[in-house]
Structure 1
Amino acid sequence: MISYVQTVSSLQSLLTRQRTTTDMTRLMMIAEEEVATGRHADPFSALGTRAVEAMNTRAVYERTEGRIESNTLLQNRLDLMATALGNVRDAAQDVLTMTISNTDPTSSRQLYLKDLAQDAYDSIVSFMNASYNGKALFGGVDSDRTAMNSWAERDAATGLSASDVMSTIVGGGITDAADANAKLAEIDAVFNGTPANPAWGYEATFFNGTPLEDGLGNANPRLAASIDENLDIGYGVQANDRGFRDMMRGLAMLAAGDPATITDDGAYEAWVGEAAAALGAGVTGVLNAEARTGSMQKLVEDSNDRLHAKREVLTLHISELESVDPFEAASRLTSTQTQLQASYAVTARLSQLSFVNFMR
């Protein structure tokens, strides 16, 4: 009976030692983590009543970090937009320069205007169809589709291309000034959204993105972003904005109504003069869009600078709250290691005890 009591007592002592060893091992791991990271392993438990402050600071830090990331993506998008707009303006400016120099019916270089306009039209469409992260840059809110159709590309909804619409209006060519003015009015209606045939409309066949207005005459939403607390910007530039319509109208006129085939001087002057005016208005519109995009780039850059500074302040405050005294953590680690070594030694001795050894 005595040996039974002693055996149970030894077992209980051994189990107690094992539990103590486990607890000290856990404490040593915590101390090791704190020595390695310089922070409390469980900061909210260590901070006590200041735990709420730490949680709130962490939440603000995460929001700031997220906004910096989203602003960086927006900066990249705006950079691509600015580059594309510059390319669009350059392409249109080349045609404008050639058109202005050929407003005189006696010009010998009018033969090149049609081909130059068609090439510029498709080049500009390729720039306007640029995307970032799979989202079209100039399609508006409906950024999941290409913004524009190329000159000969048929629209999926109307089955028509820009070339089809313009060729139908121009017909066999421009005969005289009256004919030119009548056809100019039809073309103006196409690009203003009031054509006789709704399928001819700029937003129906030429453009695929978000219309400027809904069916009730209300303005549709534009692309916007929140770049800081209480600071939102509207940065959307769309290929159906007024300047782009004017630019594409001028190019389409030259591409469809070949100036080289217009034999009547009055018709030629009316047609080429209007094309030059449309291109000039378009280039100015694109330049204005570039300026607005540049302003948005500056706002986002300034906002990110402020957010980076804010993040630094939050980082310091979090460090102040969650950092552990390195000397205190090192002392706890050393003390725990010493206790653990002693516990291991005692546990090893207890594990060797037996009733046979006791009887000797």
Structure 2
Amino acid sequence: MSFATYGDLASTFHTRHQTAKLKQDMELLGMELSSGRKANLATHVSGDFGPIAGIEHSLKLLAAQTQGISEAQTMVRGAQTVLGNIQDQTQTLTSGLISAISSQNTGLIQSTAVTAREIFSSTVSNLNTSLGGRSLFSGAATDGLALADAETILADLMSLVSAETTAAGVSSQIDDWFMSPSGGFELFGYLGADEELGPFRLREGEEVSHPVKANDTEIRNLMSALAKSAVLAEGALSGDAASQRDLAKISSNELLAASDNLTFVRARVGSIEARIETASVRNTAEKSALQLSYNQLTAADPYETATALQALYGQMESLYTVTARLSNLNFTDYMR
């Protein structure tokens, strides 16, 4: 019987090769144990990367859509909050005007007019709100203000109504300023764009647009009604208490209608909010499902990995033990 034997040099190279391979395998298993992912995906999926590539593409697409949803939520929620603040202030002012008119107290009407001027300024400021460097109510021109400042608007209104001696005349001039195509609002009051802000992409084939601009009819009517009280504080119809009371009454009646119209605007914004929220929930669910599938394809079982790693430790220890014993052999010991 013949036996295959190795020379000392060949045996040394063989041992080194085995040691290097065991160390490499242990490093790979260590990486899998720490990362929770298969270190050699090609072997794990038998070279078929199609499913993994498809899932990764879908996850990247969802990430982009999630960014669009986040931007849409910021803009629409911000608009809803601003419109809510404006409506709350408007309703408070309307109640104050009705009380002042009923009392027939000239001083109370004047003090309420001062409040109206403050609320007008607050409304302009609210409509100039910017979030994340983007103006909420200026349409496509998100890099600038939606409206000129309240002082400029009131000053131009006063130049128009200063010669008027009746509440109807003042009311008509203010309406023209806000609603006429050649009025001051169109010429310099509204600073935004007529075009709407580009749509936000929520999902494949689903988009939403920001639904409100500061030059919308509902907003103009509201500002016009506010201005009719605010100009009283600026001196309109000065010395004519009856006409001032009539103008305050016109303002309060129009504010009631404007507040109702603003409710419809907020409902429209709310429906957009609901669509965005629905898309967000769907995207979150789809992302979870894709991540679960990705984990099933790429995850390394921690128990199996730890067991294989322990087995390699055992092999390494055995190899070191055998190598140590072989290195201690000598001819004298063999002859004994």
Contact 2:135 2:142 in 1 (8 A): yes
Contact 1:121 1:150 in 2 (8 A): no
Task: For residue 326 of structure 1, report the CA deviation from its aligned partner.
Answer: 4.3
Contact 1:207 1:240 in 2 (8 A): yes
Residue correspondences, number: 320
Contact 2:96 2:112 in 1 (8 A): yes
Distance 1:205 1:119 in 2: 21
Cα separation, partners in 2 of 1:189 and 1:347, compared to 1, 3 Å: farther
- 1:245 aligned onto 2:228: no
User: How many percent identity over aligned positions?
Assistant: 23
Task: For residue 87 of structure 1, report the CA deviation from its aligned partner.
Answer: 0.8
Contact 2:98 2:252 in 1 (8 A): yes
Look up the match of 1:232.
207
Look up the match of 2:264.
288
Look up the match of 1:145.
144
Distance 1:19 1:193 in 2: 90
Task: For residue 231 of structure 1, report the CA deviation from its aligned partner.
Answer: 1.6
Look up the match of 2:53.
55
Kindly provide the amino acid, as one letter, of the partner of residue 317 in structure 1.
S
Look up the match of 2:333.
none
Distance 1:25 1:203 in 2: 77
Distance 2:27 2:176 in 1: 77
Q: Can you give the 5+ residue segments of structure 2 that lack an aligned partner in the other structure?
A: 1-7, 329-336
Cα separation, partners in 2 of 1:139 and 1:346, compared to 1, 3 Å: farther
Task: For residue 86 of structure 1, report the CA deviation from its aligned partner.
Answer: 1.0
Distance 1:346 1:116 in 2: 95
Kindly provide the amino acid, as one letter, of the partner of residue 302 in structure 1.
T
Distance 2:198 2:260 in 1: 22
Contact 1:44 1:51 in 2 (8 A): yes
Task: For residue 348 of structure 1, report the CA deviation from its aligned partner.
Answer: 7.8
- The SS at the match of 2:207 is strand
Contact 1:224 1:236 in 2 (8 A): no
Look up the match of 1:175.
165
Distance 1:351 1:202 in 2: 98
Kindly provide the amino acid, as one letter, of the partner of residue 188 in structure 1.
D
Match of 1:209 among 170, 192, 197: 192
Task: For residue 127 of structure 1, report the CA deviation from its aligned partner.
Answer: 2.1
- The SS at the match of 1:48 is coil
Contact 2:36 2:301 in 1 (8 A): yes
| Structure 1 residues 1-360: aligned runs within 5 Å | 10=9, 18=16, 21-101=19-99, 107-108=105-106, 109-152=108-151, 161-172=152-163, 174-176=164-166, 180-181=168-169, 184-195=171-182, 201-210=184-193, 212=194, 220-257=195-232, 258=235, 261=238, 263=240, 271-341=247-317
Distance 2:180 2:325 in 1: 95
Cα separation, partners in 2 of 1:77 and 1:44, compared to 1, 3 Å: farther
Distance 2:14 2:199 in 1: 65
Kindly provide the amino acid, as one letter, of the partner of residue 315 in structure 1.
Q
Contact 2:211 2:268 in 1 (8 A): no
Q: Can you list the C-alpha shifts for 1:75-100, whole angstroms capped at 9, x where unaligned?
A: 34433322221110111222333344
Q: Can you give the 5+ residue segments of structure 1 that lack an aligned partner in the other structure?
A: 1-8, 153-160, 213-219, 353-360
Distance 2:27 2:278 in 1: 44
Moved over 6 A (4+): 345-352
Contact 1:147 1:207 in 2 (8 A): yes
- The SS at the match of 2:49 is helix
Look up the match of 1:357.
none
